[in-house]
Amino acid sequence: MPLSLFSLFLGFVLGVAATGIAWSMAQRTVRPAEKAKVTALWNIRDIVEPGHRAAIVAEHLDQGVHLPPQSKLIVPASAIHAVPQAILQSCEVRMHPDVRLNAAIGKDRALLFSGHVSPKAHAMVTTEPSAVRRLQNDFERMWGESSPYVERVAVSELATKDGRHVDVTGRAMDVLEYRGKKMLRLTDNKAQVGVVTSQGDVAQWAGTNVRVIGKMHRDGGHSYIEADRVMPVGEARSVAP
């Protein structure tokens, strides 16, 4: 992870300003395109193009910051407690052990913050293609190295959790066939969801209370959890959330 990206872009801005002044003095009718500026009036929604998700990496995300729904967020595990609950519930959040950058990255522009991502922070807005690509590449590398934040929810709350990693407890009911796989039906007496896993035959849990940890999917009219772990509730009490 580059440690001096903000300094690099700050130098870039100063270079652009100096070049602009010199050029303006030489040819007052021509202005170079501005590709970076520092501002206190920023909004992460402004960098998001339709059909694309905002990508945010932050050493610390302060209260009062609003992210577009379905944004991708990377924070250190030590800072997960500070992420607003609304963001944990509406965005895909992952944890990385070595976060040293504060930035919000879109398709063709990015915001770089001088400190924590805070409503009062100044940010540099850049549309410089090479800078944006570098940030996108760094983010994707970190995303692949990070671990998901697992949200503990009720089965009846899963409808809005597509793509999220969830931790649910319920009663395992009958076993169904789904696209050539055995699917366990899990319920909390208010709603139900399918569970598929490579962890043995799901039929072994039918009729018992189980805890399921995995990734939630919605596929057409079907909802199911692709489970990493399925545990009887008695055993699950000893597993850290």
pLDDT at 123: 93
Looking at the fold, whether 46 and 127 belong to one and the same domain comes out as yes
CATH code of the domain in which 49 resides: 3.30.870.10
User: In this structure, what token pair is assigned to residue 192?
Assistant: 């139900």
Which residues face 73 on adjacent strands?
A: 56, 93
User: In this structure, what token pair is assigned to residue 198?
Assistant: 């490579």
Looking at the fold, whether 140 and 168 belong to one and the same domain comes out as no
CATH code of the domain in which 188 resides: 2.40.50.140
Looking at the fold, whether 141 and 164 belong to one and the same domain comes out as no
- Within 10 Å of residue 212's Cβ, how many Cβ atoms? 25
- The CA-based dihedral angle spanning residues 163, 241, 75, 106, taken in that order and rounded to the nearest 10 degrees: 10
Looking at the fold, whether 161 and 83 belong to one and the same domain comes out as no
Read off the pLDDT of each residue in 168-183 and give the average, rounded to a whole number.
85
Domain final residue pick, 125, 147, 169: 147
Asked whether residue 199 is assigned to any structural domain, the reply reads yes
Looking at the fold, whether 112 and 183 belong to one and the same domain comes out as no
Which of the four pLDDT bands, split at 50, 70 and 90, describes residue 181?
confident
Asked whether residue 100 is assigned to any structural domain, the reply reads yes
Asked whether residue 241 is assigned to any structural domain, the reply reads no
Asked whether residue 45 is assigned to any structural domain, the reply reads yes
Looking at the fold, whether 84 and 185 belong to one and the same domain comes out as no
d(CA 20, CA 16): 6
pLDDT at 4: 53
Looking at the fold, whether 167 and 137 belong to one and the same domain comes out as no
User: In this structure, what token pair is assigned to residue 6?
Assistant: 């903000």
> Residue 23's domain spans which residues?
5-147
Looking at the fold, whether 200 and 126 belong to one and the same domain comes out as no
Largest Cα separation within the chain, whole Å, is: 82
pLDDT above 90 (res 108): yes
Mean pLDDT check: name the lowest of 6-10, 124-128, 201-205: 6-10
Query: By the 8 A CB rule, do 229 and 162 touch?
Result: no
How many domains in the chain? 2
Phi (first) and psi of residue 163, to 5 degrees: 85, -5
Higher pLDDT, 141 or 203: 141
Looking at the fold, whether 143 and 156 belong to one and the same domain comes out as no
pLDDT above 60 (res 176): yes
Residues in the chain: 241
d(CA 170, CA 208): 9
